C-alpha cells in the first residue's frame, strides 16, 4: 500500500536533467507517457548532454521491465510504483493540437484527473507547466536538486575584525576565507579556515601572483590560493564576465603544469550548448572543431603567453604541440579516466547536477577539477540559477575539506564592462 495518494506524471526534459529522476518520488505512483520514451529514443543519437542522459534513462527503463509489467506498474526500490501510460486522451481541445508531443503528454496527464486523485505534472519546461495548470493539473518543476541561488555560499567573509570570536569560528566551513583589510594592501590579512586543526591559516602575499598576473582584489587572492593548493582537488569559481575566474584558472594551471610540474597537462572543456550534435560531424582536427567554442580560452591563453616569454611556449600552437594543454568536449570527458591532470570546466552553469557528478567522478589520482561559471548567464533552456549543476555542487560540497569555493564580485575589466555586467 502506497503511503501517498499522489500521482506524478513525468515529462521528457526531467529525464534529460536526471536520468533516474523517478527515484526522487518516494512512496507514490509515477506515470511516464509512452511518448516520453519515444522522445528519449530520438534524443539518444545526440552526442551532447541530451543524448548522454537519454541513453542513460533508456537503460534505466530497460532494467525496470525486467522487474515486472510496466503497464500495470513496477515496484521501485524507493517504494513507488511506476507505470507507462498510453492513449486515453479523449477529445482534445482544439487549442492543443496533437502534432506536438508536449500536448500529448499534458493531455494524457489531464486524463488521469478522472481518477479523482491529485495529479502532479512534473516538467522543466515552464510553458508546458502553464498549459498543464490551465487543464487543472498541479504543475511543478523538478526540484530535487535545486538550491537557493540568492543565498549561495560565497566562500569568504569580507572585512572581518581580528581576532575572530569563538561564535564566528564555530560557524566557519572548511577552506572558507576570512579577509581583514589593513591600512595599505601590504597589511591586508587573508586567512583560510583549516577545519582539521581548527586554525586560521594565513595566506601569504606571494599567493597574489601567478604566471605573470596579479590578484587585483581579495577574492581573486583567495581564488589563487585555492587553485594553487594541491590539497584541495575540487575548486569552484563563480562570477560575472570580467571577474577573472577563467583567467585565474588557466594561469594557475599553466603555473602548476609548466613551472611546478605538479600535473601532466591542463584539460579544458566547455559545454557546447548551441551545437547539439557530435563534433565528429564537423570537418577538421578536434582542436580546430572546438575552436569557435574555445575562443574565450584561447584569448586568455594569448594574454598569459604575452606576459611570459618562453622559447618553447611562444604561441598557442606550441602549447598544444608540447601537450601542455588539451581541449575536449564535455560529452567525451564523461567517458574518460583523467589521472594527473589540471581539469578546467568553463561555463559549468550550463551543466545539470547529474552531468557535474559524472565529470567530477572522472577525475583520477592526483588530478584537480576547477569549475567556473556564472549562474546568471545560462544558455540551457531547462536550467536556471537555482537548478544548474554548478550552483548545486557549491551547496553540496561546501564544508568538505577537499573542496573550496569563491564567488568573485568585482569586474576587473573596464568601467563600461562593469556597468554592463551589473545592469544589463
CATH code at position 76: 3.40.50.1010
Grid cell for residue 388: 544548474
Does 202 fall in a domain? no
**Single residue among 87, 114, 140 that ends a domain in this structure:** 140
Residues 223, 348, single domain; the answer is yes
Does 148 fall in a domain? no
Does 350 fall in a domain? yes
Does 55 fall in a domain? yes
Residues 135, 258, single domain; the answer is no
Q: How far is CA 36 from CA 13, 40, 85, 352, in A?
A: 9, 6, 10, 19
Residues 112, 255, single domain; the answer is no
* CB burial of residue 186 (10 Å; 0-12, 13-18, 19+): exposed
Distance CA 101, CA 293 (A): 31
Grid cell for residue 140: 511543478
Residues 103, 243, single domain; the answer is no
φ, ψ (nearest 5 deg) of residue 318: -70, -30
**Single residue among 95, 121, 140 that ends a domain in this structure:** 140
Distance CA 39, CA 37 (A): 5
Neighbours of 116 (CB within 10 A): 8
Distance CA 332, CA 368 (A): 18
So what's the pLDDT on residue 282? Answer: 47
Per the structure, the complete domain to which residue 404 belongs is given by 216-423
Does 189 fall in a domain? no
DSSP string, 295-335: HHHHHHHHHHHHHS--TT-SSHHHHHHTTSEEEEEHHHHTT
So what's the pLDDT on residue 287? Answer: 60
Provide the whole-model pTM: 0.82
Residues 262, 390, single domain; the answer is yes
So what's the pLDDT on residue 223? Answer: 98
Question: Residues 141, 145, 146, 148: what is their CA dihedral angle, to the nearest 10 degrees?
Answer: 170
Residues 94, 231, single domain; the answer is no
Does 149 fall in a domain? no
Regions in the chain scoring below 50 on pLDDT: 275-278, 281-283
Residues 241, 110, single domain; the answer is no
So what's the pLDDT on residue 143? Answer: 84
So what's the pLDDT on residue 335? Answer: 67
Residues 240, 384, single domain; the answer is yes
Does 195 fall in a domain? no
So what's the pLDDT on residue 285? Answer: 60
**Single residue among 115, 140, 165 that ends a domain in this structure:** 140
DSSP state of 363: B
User: Could you give the number of structural domains in the chain?
Assistant: 2
Distance CA 179, CA 188 (A): 8
Residues 126, 227, single domain; the answer is no
Grid cell for residue 304: 598569459
Distance CA 319, CA 97 (A): 55
Ramachandran quadrant class, 255 (left: phi over 0; alpha: psi -120 to 50; beta: rest): alpha
CATH code at position 397: 3.40.50.300
Residues 224, 336, single domain; the answer is yes
Does 403 fall in a domain? yes
Residues 259, 377, single domain; the answer is yes
So what's the pLDDT on residue 232? Answer: 97
Strand partners, 194: 199
Residues 272, 414, single domain; the answer is yes
Contacts of 222 (CB under 8 A, 6+ apart): 155, 156, 177, 179, 190, 192, 203, 406
Amino acid at each position: 500500500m502506497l503511503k501517498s495518494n499522489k500521482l506524478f506524471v513525468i515529462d521528457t526534459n526531467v529525464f534529460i536533467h536526471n536520468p533516474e529522476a523517478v527515484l526522487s518520488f518516494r512512496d507514490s505512483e509515477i506515470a511516464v507517457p509512452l511518448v516520453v520514451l519515444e522522445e528519449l529514443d530520438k534524443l539518444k543519437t545526440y552526442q551532447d548532454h541530451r543524448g548522454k542522459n537519454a541513453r542513460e534513462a533508456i537503460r534505466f527503463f530497460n532494467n525496470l521491465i525486467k522487474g515486472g509489467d510496466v503497464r500495470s506498474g513496477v515496484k521501485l526500490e524507493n517504494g513507488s510504483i511506476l507505470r507507462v501510460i498510453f492513449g486515453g486522451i479523449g477529445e482534445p481541445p482544439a487549442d492543443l493540437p496533437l502534432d506536438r508531443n508536449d500536448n500529448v503528454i499534458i493531455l494524457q496527464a489531464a486524463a488521469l484527473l478522472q481518477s479523482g486523485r491529485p495529479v502532479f505534472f512534473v516538467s522543466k519546461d515552464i510553458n508546458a507547466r502553464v498549459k498543464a495548470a490551465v487543464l487543472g493539473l498541479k504543475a511543478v518543476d523538478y526540484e530535487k536538486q535545486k538550491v537557493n541561488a540568492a543565498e549561495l555560499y560565497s566562500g569568504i567573509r569580507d572585512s572581518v575584525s581580528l581576532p575572530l570570536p569563538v561564535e564566528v569560528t564555530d560557524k566557519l566551513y572548511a577552506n572558507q576565507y576570512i579577509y581583514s583589510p589593513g591600512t595599505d594592501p601590504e597589511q591586508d590579512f587573508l586567512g583560510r579556515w583549516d577545519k582539521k586543526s581548527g586554525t586560521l591559516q594565513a595566506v601569504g602575499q606571494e599567493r597574489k601572483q601567478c604566471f605573470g598576473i596579479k590578484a587585483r582584489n581579495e577574492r581573486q587572492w583567495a581564488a589563487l590560493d585555492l587553485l594553487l593548493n594541491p590539497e584541495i582537488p575540487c575548486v569552484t569559481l563563480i562570477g560575472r564576465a570580467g571577474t577573472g575566474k577563467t583567467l585565474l584558472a588557466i594561469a594557475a594551471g599553466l603555473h602548476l603544469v609548466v613551472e611546478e610540474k605538479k600535473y601532466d597537462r591542463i584539460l579544458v572543456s566547455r559545454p557546447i550548448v548551441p551545437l547539439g550534435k557530435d563534433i565528429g560531424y564537423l570537418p577538421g582536427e578536434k582542436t580546430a572543431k572546438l575552436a569557435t567554442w574555445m575562443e574565450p580560452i584561447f584569448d586568455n591563453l594569448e594574454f598569459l603567453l604575452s606576459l611570459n616569454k618562453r622559447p618553447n611556449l611562444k604561441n598557442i600552437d606550441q602549447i598544444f604541440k608540447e601537450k601542455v594543454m588539451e581541449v575536449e568536449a564535455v560529452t567525451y570527458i564523461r567517458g574518460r579516466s583523467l589521472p594527473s591532470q589540471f581539469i578546467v570546466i568553463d561555463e559549468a552553469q550550463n551543466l545539470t547536477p547529474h552531468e557535474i557528478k559524472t565529470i567530477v567522478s572522472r577525475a583520477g589520482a592526483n588530478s584537480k577539477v576547477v569549475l567556473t561559471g556564472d549562474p546568471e548567464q545560462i544558455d540551457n533552456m531547462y536550467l536556471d540559477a537555482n537548478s544548474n549543476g554548478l550552483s548545486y555542487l557549491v551547496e553540496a560540497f561546501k564544508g568538505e575539506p577537499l573542496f573550496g569555493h569563491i564567488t568573485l564580485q568585482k569586474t576587473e575589466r573596464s568601467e563600461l564592462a562593469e556597468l554592463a555586467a551589473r545592469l544589463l
